[in-house]
Chain A
Amino acid sequence: TQLLEQSPQFLSIQEGENLTVYCNSSSVFSSLQWYRQEPGEGPVLLVTVVTGGEVKKLKRLTFQFGDARKDSSLHITAAQPGDTGLYLCAGAQGGANNLFFGTGTRLTVIP
């Protein structure tokens, strides 16, 4: 059972388009992370958000943590083929040190 649901599950877009990936839960998280995973490799951290309403920008990627700390979004502007991969959100609860991963969004950017 995964606490975090991501949508869409699959996304295929043309180079240059914008997109948003959503990560939703009914649970509250003390922090939320976004990872990107490429085939045959482990996930790699993109960002950590810890405050409700927080917005972080990483070049063309914008991450937002919901006010209630139950949801998050990832917006990519002018997608490039190099953005292709599996995007995973992951939440931490309270003092626990394990991260709960979302169901994943597989993004394909077509040149």
Chain B
Amino acid sequence: GAGVSQSPRYKVAKRGQDVALRCDPISGHVSLFWYQQALGQGPEFLTYFQNEAQLDKSGLPSDRFFAERPEGSVSTLKIQRTQQEDSAVYLCASSLGGLGYTGELFFGEGSRLTVL
């Protein structure tokens, strides 16, 4: 597609369930980012991939969060044993360049996770 695609757009999970959020970046984009955005706040960095390599995962809030991009294209963010504080919008973004390139980030519409 022309833009970054995320699915599902909305996910409701019971506390303790595992969830998987998918991101399909713009074709050919080297860099892929995951951000977490609380209501009315700015996005907070979770993790960064350059192709299939996860170069920075310093923003992942706990070991319940796991991300992968096995073939350097589609990425999945997995949250195990969800907690209420995980409720947020999860944004995926891609950019054309690799490490050190600070060009434009293209964002998807986000996946809104609500944990009951």
A sample of 30 cross-chain residue pairs with beta-carbon separation below 8 angstroms, ordered by A number, consists of: A2-B42, A2-B44, A4-B42, A6-B42, A30-B102, A40-B109, A41-B109, A41-B110, A42-B91, A42-B93, A42-B108, A42-B109, A43-B43, A43-B91, A43-B105, A45-B105, A48-B104, A90-B105, A92-B102, A95-B100, A96-B56, A96-B99, A96-B100, A97-B98, A97-B99, A98-B48, A99-B45, A101-B35, A102-B42, A104-B40
Shortest C-beta distance, A41 to chain B (Å), equals: 5
**In the complex, what residues of B have CB within 8 A of residue A98's CB?**
33, 45, 48, 56, 59
B42 touches A106 (CB 8 A): no
- Please report A residues at the B interface, Cβ cutoff 8 Å: 2, 4, 6, 30-31, 33, 40-45, 48, 86, 88, 90, 92, 95-104, 106
Q: Residues of B with Cβ closer than 8 Å to A?
A: 4, 31, 33, 35, 40-45, 48, 50, 55-56, 59, 91, 93, 95, 97-110
